[in-house]
Amino acid sequence: MNLEELNKKYLLLSPEDRIHELYKDFGKVLFTSSFGTTSAFLLHLFHKVKPNETIYFLDTTYHFNETIEYKENLTQLLNLKVIDVKPEVWKNNFTNQDRTWNSDPDLCCSINKVEPIEKIKVNFDVWVSGLMTSQTTHRQNLKVFELKEDIVKFYPLIDQNEKIAKEYIAQHNLPQHPLLSQGYSSVGCFHCTVAGKGRSGRWVNKSKTECGLHL
Ligand code: SF4
């Protein structure tokens, strides 16, 4: 089945049914999570459909302590199998000394996020992400499946939004990200995140809106 046919078929399905179908249509699934403010939605859906699936967490070394605590909390609660993916130490040290998030945030994201995932994604057939069209202009035109360079991306939440995610998290008694109650609607690295609605608190005063993982 080509991507156009897959998109037609999956568009009509609920996020949970999309995940069920994914395991019929694809082999090795790469599931990354940022353990951000809406992540519990997709983590819980996968937990229902495929409880043993490995979750890859990109540990840039610049996460808020609250994100690490939240990750540990959800891991314990849902009995998740989480693997941390880290950047090369010397390159990460360079970004720390150079404060690259200020001078060249694209390079910083490339070193600390994109390169580490590039190394493992060759082992997979499809890469799952919780992107929603409602989040940024770039994401508005995404479909359930997209071909990105050499891997198929799968966005089961593409037609959902933050409100739906928060309602799902509340209905299922899942914990909220601790920074949500402090006004952070979206949480990334502490160098590049302030409180704000939607993604307005990410890379403030910079033209950047995406880390590069999904571009
Ligand atoms: S979000 Fe900021 S600190 Fe994190 S990798 Fe990107 S530029 Fe660096």
Question: Does 108 participate in catalysis according to the annotation?
Answer: no
Q: Which pLDDT score is estimated for 215?
A: 60
Task: Give residue 197's pLDDT.
Answer: 79
* Tokens representing residue 214 in the block: 């999904």
Distance in Å, CA 204 to ligand 1 centroid? 12
Q: Quote the CA–CA distance of 26 and 18 in Å, as a whole number.
A: 12
204 or 193, greater pLDDT: 193
Residue % of the chain over a pLDDT of 90: 79
For residue 38 and ligand 1, the question of a CB distance below 6 A is answered with no
Percent of the chain topping pLDDT 70? 91
Query: Which domains are delineated in the chain?
Result: 3-192 (3.40.50.620)
Substitution candidate for ligand 1 out of 111, 112, 202, 208 with most atoms within 8 A of CB: 112
How many angstroms does the Cα of residue 61 sit away from the middle of ligand 1?
9
Count the residues in the chain.
215
Band of the pLDDT at 4, cuts 50, 70, 90? Answer: very high
Q: Which residue has the higher pLDDT, 85 or 150?
A: 85
Q: Whose alpha carbon is nearest atom 6 of ligand 1?
A: 109
For ligand 1, atom 1, the nearest C-alpha belongs to 189
What value does the mean pLDDT of the chain take?
91
Q: 27-75, pLDDT tens digit by residue?
A: 999 999 999 999 999 999 999 999 999 999 999 999 999 999 999 999 9
For residue 206, how far is its CA from the centre of ligand 1 (angstroms)?
A: 12
CA atoms within 13 A on the CB side of 11: 9
The arithmetic mean of pLDDT across residues 9-19, rounded, is: 95
